[in-house]
Amino acid sequence: MKIEEIQKKLAVFAEEREWDQFHSPKNISMALAVEAGELLELFQWMTESDSMLATSDSKLRGRIEEEIADIQIYLLRLADKLSVDVESAVNRKIESNAQKYPIEKAKGRSTKYTEL
Amino acid sequence: MKIEEIQKKLAVFAEEREWDQFHSPKNISMALAVEAGELLELFQWMTESDSMLATSDSKLRGRIEEEIADIQIYLLRLADKLSVDVESAVNRKIESNAQKYPIEKAKGRSTKYTEL
Amino acid sequence: MKIEEIQKKLAVFAEEREWDQFHSPKNISMALAVEAGELLELFQWMTESDSMLATSDSKLRGRIEEEIADIQIYLLRLADKLSVDVESAVNRKIESNAQKYPIEKAKGRSTKYTEL
Amino acid sequence: MKIEEIQKKLAVFAEEREWDQFHSPKNISMALAVEAGELLELFQWMTESDSMLATSDSKLRGRIEEEIADIQIYLLRLADKLSVDVESAVNRKIESNAQKYPIEKAKGRSTKYTEL
């Protein structure tokens, strides 16, 4: 995914509409949580097994794709506004998770690292 | 960002820890919303102006980067589990937003497209 | 539950700490979503069946009670700030839900009323 | 607010529609977070000052009241399913907050107790 390219597109989109006045990091964090709630809504009454097959229904697939896109869009917008390098933040987090959840301790357990 | 590469890393990470049993799309959508809540927490009492400078404090920058990473990680994991192509979903969404929010109507307004 | 009494306590609590400057409805809606995320965290990796027994573990019971309390507190605080009568809003909503979800149509189905 | 009375109404409502199969605590925690997200949506692009006047617009007031009601309804439903006494949980939490945030330390500051 070409992050800078998408961020540039989103920046132009906002600028053309004079939306930067609304796009404070505070507000974008709210928008992101709103979209996370909309994603949650699609799964709230589903069993876990059904959720694994959710995209086999084409209408539901469309809605899931939209929510995933919305979250990704606000995440990149937020990172842009705050000059955060998403890819390197992700790589650092994966390394730190590997420290927090050593295989032998975490195997088969969903326990939080603070309680492992 | 090399999406497939990150998704592969995350898949191996989960497999080594036998975590796939927990990673139903339903559960991952919950985890994603939890992380969106943690991001929100960092901004909840801040003014919008202060939120624009949030990453100039290095401790706060670290926490914001972690939450952004967590959200990105769960989003890619979910997309992988449901075979959603994030980049193309994002591009389709940007195009659809351009239709829903024509410049002349949306300029300077935060109104939802359904009420424009 | 004596709503006005609790709201009064919360108002005094905030006033003594000069917290009204932080308690805009916008900010309280964020705080409420943060707490909803913390509640979600307790259930995210649990099966539905296990979630039914969650309060039989006394430590977990304590944490669930705290999150329920936090959500209730922010909800009453928000209602107070916006002069919303929670009890009558709840009663109106239950009546409106009865209209939207007639028994014969909604029986055994989790479908949203817009699609019933 | 007569909590038991509302909980009884909600229980009958669910029973008549055979909805108990969907109402695991896990699922209700999701529904609650979804509603918290919908409340958030109403305030996401608003300034804090505008949010203080939100209920002076009658249409917006109606929507805020509905979201507050939805959150309250799911909170009482969850408490009922898990046999949590909301009122006493709230009172305990207010007392514990008074310990965590002594007036002299917390005055005029939005800092979390762990960092006070």
pLDDT, tens digit, 9 for 90 and up, residues A82-93: 999 999 999 999
Interhelix angle D58-81/C58-81, rounded to 10 degrees, is 160
Contact B31 C22 (CB under 8 A): no
Counted domains in chain B: 2
CB-nearest partner of D22 from A31, A40, A45: A45
Whether A64 shows a pLDDT value over 90: the answer reads: yes
Does D97 lie in the same domain as D58? no
In chain A, whose CA is at the least distance from the CA of B40?
Answer: A29
Q: Is residue A42 part of a domain?
A: yes
Low-confidence stretches of chain C (pLDDT < 50) are none
Q: Quote the mean pLDDT of chain B.
A: 97
**Would you write out chain D's pLDDT as a tens digit for each of its 116 residues?**
999 999 999 999 999 999 999 999 999 999 999 999 999 999 999 999 999 999 999 999 999 999 999 999 999 999 999 999 999 999 999 999 999 999 999 999 999 999 88
Instruction: pLDDT band for B71, please (50, 70, 90 cuts).
Output: very high
Q: Is residue C10 part of a domain?
A: yes
Whether A116 shows a pLDDT value over 90: the answer reads: no
Does D63 lie in the same domain as D116? no
**Is the minimum CB–CB distance between A45 and chain C shorter than 8 Å?**
yes
Instruction: pLDDT band for B17, please (50, 70, 90 cuts).
Output: very high
Contact A47 B26 (CB under 8 A): yes
Does B29 lie in the same domain as B8? yes
CB-nearest partner of B30 from D30, D37, D47: D30
* Token pair 């969850």 in the structure block, residue: D78
CB C51 within 8 A of CB D25: yes
Does D64 lie in the same domain as D29? yes
CA distances from C33 to A84, B108, D96 (A): 24, 27, 21
Does B99 lie in the same domain as B65? no
CA separation for the pair C6, D89 (Å, rounded): 12
**Is the minimum CB–CB distance between B58 and chain D shorter than 8 Å?**
no
CATH number at residue C20: 1.10.287.1080
Does D56 lie in the same domain as D30? yes
- Give me the pLDDT at residue D116, please: 86
Q: Is residue A56 part of a domain?
A: yes
Number of B–D residue contacts, CB under 8 Å: 9
- Give me the pLDDT at residue D48, please: 98
Does B107 lie in the same domain as B67? no
**Is the minimum CB–CB distance between C14 and chain B shorter than 8 Å?**
no
CA distances from D72 to A42, C26, D42, D64 (A): 21, 18, 17, 12
Instruction: pLDDT band for A75, please (50, 70, 90 cuts).
Output: very high
Instruction: pLDDT band for B56, please (50, 70, 90 cuts).
Output: very high
Query: pTM above 0.95?
Result: yes
Query: What's the pLDDT tens digit per position in D6-32?
Result: 999 999 999 999 999 999 999 999 999
Interhelix angle A58-81/B86-100, rounded to 10 degrees, is 90
Q: Is residue A116 part of a domain?
A: no
Does B104 lie in the same domain as B67? no
Does B77 lie in the same domain as B97? no
CA separation for the pair A40, A60 (Å, rounded): 13
* Residues of chain B contacting residue D110, judged by C-beta atoms under 8 Å apart: 45
The ipTM estimated for the assembled molecules is 0.97
- Closest-CA distance of chain C to residue B27, Å: 6
Q: Which residues contact B42 (CB under 8 A, 6 or more apart)?
A: A29, B54, B60, B63, B64, B67
- Give me the pLDDT at residue C116, please: 87
- Give me the pLDDT at residue C113, please: 92
**Full residue range of the structural domain in which residue B100 is found:** 86-116
In chain B, pLDDT over 70 holds for what percent of residues?
Answer: 100
Does B55 lie in the same domain as B90? no
Does D72 lie in the same domain as D44? yes
Q: Is residue A78 part of a domain?
A: yes
CA proximity to B76, closest of B14, B1, B3? B3
Q: Is residue A90 part of a domain?
A: no
Does B14 lie in the same domain as B54? yes
Query: What's the pLDDT tens digit per position in A35-48?
Result: 999 999 999 999 99
